[in-house]
Structure 1
């Protein structure tokens, strides 16, 4: 029994496919199949059910999987311990991020890490705050930049962006003549927002609920820049962060929403810590490169025209 065979078995189960497993492992598909069959011959049991559309573990396969994963984790832990002892940082780190964050220069953060640790491979995945939190909790991400919301247990955070939720409108929109409005001014307006599960959408829903009405979401888009561009075409009122709205001026006018929830971005990682030195180095670097902001209160009312 070889570690390679165990790794191939675990990867095939996770991907539910020999082809996808081979792609992930960067080896030829026949090689993966041959190694798994060799392992089955050695154990005298069929470990994978190949009869359906997807590959699934048999009862024997389910029985061996915990031991296979434990063996692979032990080897990875041994390598990480030696790397840490010798001061060598290598391996792979996985970071998740929202599709667009106008206030954070993520490429520069990752470039700075790469300059310090050129032997570490960096992978980046995008998704909603809800999805990223689940991936982080499951250990499939080492670090995540996500919107504030309900986080799973065991996740530590640092506030790295804290902005006002604002209304972005076409310059000809009547709201563009105002500096400030209350959320109630949006009651009968078509609104443009990110999908449910994102931090900005949670802020928008909260603001409308506090004003006593259900928002009329006319358009949704997964890209915050697209949300703002819809508003620039006069299709509705975009509810976005202040930095995002300012980035699209003069195509849109920015209107402050008084007493609105804050749009926050959190740097998040597992509190019990990742196993590898590369992931720990990434977390240290990101925490130092990005500001640790205090949590601000909602926008307060100021003298000016409101509705």
Structure 2
């Protein structure tokens, strides 16, 4: 059993197609098919069901795939550790971030990291905090930036609290509300544009309105801050954004809140950080971080 065979199995499993898998692995399809067939003979079982329309894993293939990924990850880690011992950081680094991260200038950090560690393959995923926590737990993402309600802590991952900040209300330039500052009760009769129920970005606002004894209506639920801003621009309602993020949209009017919702930003990473992950952590936070063990 060879590492290259494992790579071919993972590629076919992820693309459900021998041709696309061969293109991903930069080999001709006949060579990839031959190696997988040889591995199946060695294992004494078929890993894939092949039809004219699709390719899918057999039950044996489903059982084999996680172990194959673990072997490849261990091999990549071994190479990275050897390179790091020689003073060179290499390998892959998968970063996740909420769209409204404000505690760190992420584009600048990525540019600095790439300049110092050009041999690292960096990827970036934008998603919600809940999804990012789960991806880091599973090892799909190495490090992520989150925004959570102030009392919440990410579980099952290493974490470092970057800081906390208030939210502000944002409205269209011609919105009837003319105040520059108010409280949540002053917004009680307004329609809101907010993230979907259960989203971490929604929870911090809901908790603040509940604590203030204010019931609000949220007729527009969105999945991104950019979509929220687009709807706010049309005068469809009031949006809630982090105070450090809202100035990115200078065409909107900002209303500060005396009893503003707050959120905390966290940096999280896998329990077994690679040299590439450790190098990024040292760039973002030079001091030791805390661990969330559960």
Q: TM-score range by the shorter chain?
A: 0.7 to 0.9
Question: d(CA) in 2 for partners of 1:61 and 1:33?
Answer: 15
CA contact 2:169–2:239 (8 Å) conserved in 1: yes
Question: 1:9 deviation in Å?
Answer: 1.4
In structure 2, relative to structure 1, the CA distance for the partners of 1:174 and 1:60 (3 Å cut) is: closer
CA contact 2:231–2:237 (8 Å) conserved in 1: yes
Question: 1:137 deviation in Å?
Answer: 0.8
Q: Which residue of 2 aligns with 1:155?
A: 157
CA contact 2:100–2:245 (8 Å) conserved in 1: no
Question: 1:191 deviation in Å?
Answer: 0.4
CA contact 2:101–2:147 (8 Å) conserved in 1: no
Question: d(CA) in 1 for partners of 2:111 and 2:72?
Answer: 30
Deviation string for 1:186-231 (max 9, x for gaps)?
3221101233454332222222222345532232333324423432
Question: d(CA) in 2 for partners of 1:86 and 1:209?
Answer: 55
Q: Which residue of 1 aligns with 2:252?
A: 252
TM alignment of 1:90-129, pairs within 5 A = 90-101=90-101, 104-129=104-129
Question: d(CA) in 1 for partners of 2:103 and 2:109?
Answer: 13
Q: TM-score, normalised by structure 2?
A: 0.83
Q: Which residue of 2 aligns with 1:37?
A: 37
TM alignment of 1:130-279, pairs within 5 A = 130-148=130-148, 153-181=155-183, 183-196=184-197, 198-249=199-250, 251-270=251-270, 272-274=271-273, 276-279=274-277
Deviation string for 1:231-250 (max 9, x for gaps)?
2332211111112333323x
Question: d(CA) in 2 for partners of 1:248 and 1:65?
Answer: 45
CA contact 2:193–2:239 (8 Å) conserved in 1: yes
Deviation string for 1:246-288 (max 9, x for gaps)?
3323x32222223233133221112x232x2112212221224
In structure 2, relative to structure 1, the CA distance for the partners of 1:88 and 1:197 (3 Å cut) is: farther
In structure 2, relative to structure 1, the CA distance for the partners of 1:180 and 1:144 (3 Å cut) is: same
In structure 2, relative to structure 1, the CA distance for the partners of 1:76 and 1:195 (3 Å cut) is: same
In structure 2, relative to structure 1, the CA distance for the partners of 1:209 and 1:16 (3 Å cut) is: farther
Q: Which residue of 1 aligns with 2:292?
A: none
CA contact 1:146–1:199 (8 Å) conserved in 2: no
DSSP-derived class of the 1:240 partner? strand
Aligned residues: 286
In structure 2, relative to structure 1, the CA distance for the partners of 1:200 and 1:26 (3 Å cut) is: farther
Deviation string for 1:94-130 (max 9, x for gaps)?
0011234356421110011111111111111111111
CA contact 1:89–1:120 (8 Å) conserved in 2: yes
Q: TM-score, normalised by structure 1?
A: 0.80
Deviation string for 1:55-108 (max 9, x for gaps)?
443243345445534543443343233112212211111001123435642111
Question: d(CA) in 2 for partners of 1:119 and 1:75?
Answer: 17
Q: Which runs of 5+ in 2 are unaligned?
A: 290-294
User: Considering only aligned residues, what root-mean-square deviation do their CA atoms show, in Å?
Assistant: 2.9
Q: Which runs of 5+ in 1 are unaligned?
A: 293-307
CA contact 2:101–2:146 (8 Å) conserved in 1: no
